[in-house]
């Protein structure tokens, strides 16, 4: 699955633009008085101003070249503090054959850079914002993981990649995953609860059915 664009509301539009475009160096594709979009590899990340979203925070991840986790760590430390787990900013996911680092953006979103060693995407270039390959994960808390998985499977043809479909389901593939979780847990590796906040995702799909509920809009 390919995530083409992720749209998130924010009350800190200027701070987010400063963080992503000016500090991290993502290419600014467009902006208006109430939104901006940056290029995130083969995908786009858009923030829109919404005065009612002060409490909102999300989890999403970017794929990076599988051989550049150390370079990404050193690069990111120039701009922000990394979230540590077991006294280390680098987290090993042996079941996924991947390593990740996490940080907060200006809104408090939990952002992840993940090196997936199953993917043939190594790079010899110096690491920068241009090294980001794509948005590879979007967290989506729900009341019933099984019901939401069934909807995604039947309407969009998406399959389970990892999980039990009861409390956790990574749906899609390593190029694009919906991380569907129950609300009675925290976002790893933080103490922030998996709360439901509205978001919009555009994906590449041969389906034409849009999933549009009060929380999540998925546009194929």
pLDDT tens, per residue, the chain with 220 residues: 999 999 999 999 999 999 999 999 999 999 999 999 999 999 999 999 999 999 999 999 999 999 999 999 999 999 999 999 999 999 999 999 999 999 999 999 999 999 999 999 999 999 999 999 999 999 999 999 999 999 999 999 999 999 999 999 999 999 999 999 999 999 999 999 999 999 999 999 888 899 998 899 999 9
In words, the CATH class of domain 2-219 is alpha beta
Backbone angles phi, psi at 15, to 5 degrees: -65, -40
User: Token pair 């920068």 is at which residue?
Assistant: 128
How far apart, in whole angstroms, are the C-alpha atoms of residue 69 and residue 75?
A: 10
Are 217 and 204 within 8 A, CB to CB?
Answer: no
Q: What pTM does this model have?
A: 0.97
Are 46 and 37 within 8 A, CB to CB?
Answer: yes
Backbone angles phi, psi at 83, to 5 degrees: -80, 125
Are 61 and 127 within 8 A, CB to CB?
Answer: no
Closest of 189, 187, 184 to residue 144, by C-alpha: 184
H or E element, residue 150: helix 145-156
Are 79 and 28 within 8 A, CB to CB?
Answer: no
């Amino acid at each position: 699955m390919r995530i083409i664009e992720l749209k998130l509301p924010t009350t800190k539009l200027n701070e987010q633009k400063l963080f992503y475009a000016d500090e991290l160096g993502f290419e600014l594709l467009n902006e208006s008085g109430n939104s901006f979009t940056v290029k995130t590899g083969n995908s786009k990340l858009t923030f829109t101003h919404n005065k009612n979203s002060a409490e909102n925070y999300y989890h999403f991840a970017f794929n990076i070249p599988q051989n550049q986790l150390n370079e990404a760590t050193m690069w990111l430390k120039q701009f922000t503090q990394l979230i540590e787990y077991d006294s280390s900013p680098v987290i090993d996911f042996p079941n996924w054959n991947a390593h990740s680092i996490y940080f907060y953006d200006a809104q408090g979103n939990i952002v992840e850079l993940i090196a997936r060693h199953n993917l043939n995407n190594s790079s010899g270039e110096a690491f920068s914002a241009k090294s980001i390959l794509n948005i590879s994960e979007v967290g989506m808390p729900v009341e019933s993981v099984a019901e939401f998985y069934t909807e995604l499977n039947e309407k969009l043809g998406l399959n389970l990649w990892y999980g039990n479909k009861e409390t956790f389901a990574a749906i899609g593939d390593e190029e694009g995953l919906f991380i569907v979780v129950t609300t009675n847990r925290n976002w790893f590796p933080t103490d922030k609860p998996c709360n439901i906040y509205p978001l919009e995702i555009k994906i590449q799909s041969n389906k034409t059915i849009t999933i549009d509920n009060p929380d999540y809009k998925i546009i194929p």
